[in-house]
Amino acid sequence: MHLASLVLSAIVLCAAATTAAFGEESSGKDVPKPKNEAPQPQHLLGDWGGFRSGLHDDGIDLSAAYTGQGAYNVSGGMDTGAAYAQQLQLGVDIDWKKLAGLNGFSTHAVFINRAGNNVSTDYVGDNLIQAQSIYGGAGDVLVHLVDVYGDLKLAKGRIDIAAGRLPVGEDYATSPLYCQFLNTAVCGYPNAIAAKAGFSTFPNSTWGARVRVATAKHLYVQAGAYEVRPRAGGRSGFDWGWSGTTGTYYPVEVGYEPVFGPNMLEGHYKAGFAHDTSDYPDLYRDQNGDPFAATGLPQLQHGGRDSTYVLADQMIVRNAAGPERGLIVTGGYVWSDKATSQLSRFFFLGLTDKGFLASRPDDVLGIVFAKESISGSVTATQQIQATMNQPLLMDAPGVQSEETVIEAHYDWAAHPGLTLTPDIQYIMHPGGAETYPDAVVIGAQLAADF
């Protein structure tokens, strides 16, 4: 059923998008990919002696990058201590128009290797968020497949269709601004969204398809259908079977990307909704509607789970020409069903300022405040379990209510393709509980694009 549902959904979405797009007149110009685009990377090793540009002329783009994150828990949490995590990433993008004359078609694949330790679980006592964004998710295998998919652009770029092994977070609820921060409260995606089983995130993917249509100037809509398989592609990412699939995840996102004034102040505004058809247990009630922690009866099952988000960023001062080169305000809010979601509310607000020093046009200063609220259903269940000396739901370190993270960083562009980022984080109520004192984590990131 899950395979048929996914395939049928993709076909319907493609047909609907194509009909809508061809019903309008083409502008005659290619439409940029309607989402925040990260600037093209500078390469530490340049053109690889002409090898890179030669492949590019044939339609093949190779990328290689290394990221290392060190973190030290200075105070609070469980104990003081340091950890280091690292990631090696390899990617290949193929333009099949150049390679074989297939107009508008390209393929993309990314592979990673991860290794290291996690300061959040080892020293902070936090099982909700991580101070090192690259820890985990394929850290115990030599090569892990992140994604491999095809992308087809039609109607002069107004329609963009992707299908294959895709993380939902490849296209939804994301921005290149978020992973300027190290903490997973916002890095990649707002944590309350990424915590959902159906919202597959880097470096894990499932079978999926999405269609994005530029419906009008500065406006786009995208919808998709993705396999919900909690173990995703397994430890290696190459487990492409369907065993363990629980349902289908249907996200929809509408975006508005205006540019204001003569200084070209860019904005990105997004609203999204997702429905997961999987069955999820009620986090408080049993099959009779009573607290399952007290009765010991099986939990009430819900058919499906919904979540909604609103995200925005707006440049308010431009420092220089180019994407993200200015002072940008960013923020968002996430809502999830409290009956079935551990994290029911999430809010963040931040500032990033790139190029605020004219002599350092690629340096970035950033600060973010993020707060996530634990579902009242989870808190009520844990309170009952605590009084009965039972293990707490979600393997919590204590009765959970909320967690807040404040993070500040400075990206120092040391050399083209090489960035050093000192970082400090203040984590209030690690793990969403009051078991451990507030923690201060200092760290640094080394990012090299070869």
At 37 the pLDDT is 53
At 42 the pLDDT is 86
At 211 the pLDDT is 98
pTM for the predicted model, two decimal places: 0.90
At 137 the pLDDT is 75
Q: For residues 290 and 166, what is the distance between their CA atoms, to the nearest angstrom? A: 39
**Residue 421, strand partner residues:** 445
Half-sphere exposure of 416 (CA within 13 A, CB side): 8
Is the distance from CB of 196 to CB of 336 less than 8 angstroms? Answer: yes
At 216 the pLDDT is 86
Is the distance from CB of 211 to CB of 253 less than 8 angstroms? Answer: no
pLDDT tens across the length of the chain (450 residues): 444 444 434 433 443 333 333 333 333 333 334 445 555 678 999 999 999 999 999 999 999 999 999 999 999 999 999 999 999 999 999 999 999 999 999 999 999 999 999 999 999 999 999 999 999 777 678 999 999 999 999 999 999 999 999 999 999 999 999 999 999 999 999 999 999 999 999 999 999 999 999 998 899 999 999 999 998 999 999 999 999 999 999 999 999 999 999 999 999 999 999 999 999 999 999 999 999 999 999 999 999 999 999 999 999 999 999 889 999 999 999 999 999 999 999 999 999 999 999 999 999 999 999 999 999 999 999 999 999 999 999 999 999 999 999 999 999 999 999 999 999 999 999 999 999 999 999 999 999 999
At 141 the pLDDT is 85
| DSSP notation for 251-319 | EEEEEE--EETTTTEEEEEEEEEEEEEEEEEEEEEETTSSBHHHH-PPEEEEEEEEEEEEEEEEEEEE-
Q: Indicate the domain borders of the chain.
A: 2-449
Strand, helix or coil for residue 166: strand
At 19 the pLDDT is 36
**Other residues' Cβ atoms within 10 Å of the Cβ of residue 353:** 19
| Residue 185 structure tokens | 């409260």
Fold for the domain defined by 2-449: Porin (2.40.160)
